[in-house]
Each structure stands twice: as structure tokens, then as C-alpha cells.
Amino acid sequence: MKAPFKEISLQKSIFAPEELPVPSLPEVAFLGRSNVGKSSLINAFLGRKKIARVSSTPGFTKALNFFRVDHRFLVVDLPGYGFAKVPPKLRRKWRHLIETYLSSPRPIKLLVLIFDIRREPDELDLALIEYVKALKRNFLVVLNKIDCLKKAHWPKAQKRWQEVLGVEEEAIFLTSCKKGFGIEGLRRKILSFVLAKDMT
């Protein structure tokens, strides 16, 4: 099924916490280490090829980008969390920006936390999941780039991530932005959070 969205536009790109837009519509934010496919997943979710910019160079997304979707909700593309191969000073700046955004009182209905399924989870992944859990916001986990693993290896990899991250099986989604696998189910799930009636 094609993505059910008509009008998508970049509402704002911000580089510092002072520039955060006044909260308005419900928000869904895509979070993860550099190069896992945050921007690609946003494009797949929105059914657009190039709305969020994608690159094979880690550390590509340099701002918090707010995309407005049909005047109903905002999708937020974040820089690679803390761990990009960028100078430490810039890395700290991004981290501060991301953390200020995520901990501020905004209608963030859902965090989509993305990992690269091919990798072995490491300490930085653990730090990231602990941070997200401590935020006490709704989140789900996406294991992306499944096209890079043989299908026979998917269940084992999924179980490994699930155990290490300490999340329920229902909260894990397997996707390939390249092949479009798993995108529709993920879209349905995201919308069920973002379009829920209450504005908390």
C-alpha cells in the first residue's frame, strides 16, 4: 500500500535548542546511531524518495529536521546519536541538542529507535537504550538493513537484539528501506501512536 500522506514539507531545521519550534502537532522522532538508516526510514515511512536526505557518509544529518505531514503530525529526523565520526565538540553539541529536545515537554508520541541488525550490540547501544527507557516516553525498536542478512539469520539476530536491549518481541520491527520490507507494518504502528487522541 502507498503511504497515505498528501502534503509533506520541511517545517524547520534547527541547530541549537533555542531554535526549537513551539510545540504544536504530535511528533514522532527517529533516533539511532549514525548511518543506521534514520533518514532512509523516514523516507520509507512517508513514501517519498528524497524528503529526508540520505548519505553513506556517517554523520550526514546535521540538524534536527521537522517535517510536517498533512498538518496532522511532525516527523523529526535527528543527527546520529552521540557516536558519529565527527569532532568531539560537534558530537557534544548534537547530543545536547537531541537530549534537550527529547526531554523537553513536547507532544512526542513515539520514539523510533533504530539499530543496524547486522551488528553485534555493544556498550554504546546499551547506553542508548537505557537513555531511551529513562525518558519514560513510548518507543519501539527497529532493526534495519535486514536485506543485508540472509533471511535464515533474521530470527537469531532479532532474538539477540531483543535480549540485549531488554524489550518485548512486540516492540521490535524488522525493516529494509532498500527493499521496502516491514515498512507498512511499521507505518501502521507509528500512526496508531501518533494519531491517538490524547495530546500528552
What residue ranges bind ligand GTP (CB under 6 A)? 32, 34-40, 54-56, 58-61, 79-80, 144-145, 147-148, 176-178
CA-CA-CA-CA torsion sign (139, 140, 143, 145): negative
For residue 170, the minimal CB distance to Mg ion (Å) is 27
Task: Tell me whether residue 114 or residue 143 sits nearer to Mg ion (CB atom).
Answer: 114
Task: Tell me whether residue 158 or residue 176 sits nearer to ligand GTP (CB atom).
Answer: 176
Contacted entry of Mg ion, ligand GTP, none for residue 145, CB cut-off 5 to 8 Å set by kind: ligand GTP
Mind giving me the DSSP string for 8-70?
A: EEEEEEESSGGGPPPP-S-EEEEEESTTSSHHHHHHHHHT-SSSS---SSSS---SEEEEEET
Does residue number 61 form part of the binding site for Mg ion (CB under 5 A)? yes
Q: Could you tell me where the beta strands, DSSP code E, fall in 50-151?
A: 64-69, 73-77, 108-116, 139-144
For residue 52, the minimal CB distance to ligand GTP (Å) is 7
Task: Tell me whether residue 26 or residue 82 sits nearer to ligand GTP (CB atom).
Answer: 82
114 close to 41: Cβ distance less than 8 angstroms: yes
CA-CA-CA-CA torsion sign (117, 121, 125, 126): positive
Does residue number 39 form part of the binding site for Mg ion (CB under 5 A)? yes
Task: Tell me whether residue 56 or residue 169 sits nearer to ligand GTP (CB atom).
Answer: 56
- Work out the number of other CB atoms within 10 angstroms of the CB of residue 28: 22
Task: Tell me whether residue 26 or residue 59 sits nearer to ligand GTP (CB atom).
Answer: 59
For residue 197, the minimal CB distance to ligand GTP (Å) is 31
Residues forming contacts to Mg ion in the complex (CB under 5 A) are 38-39, 61
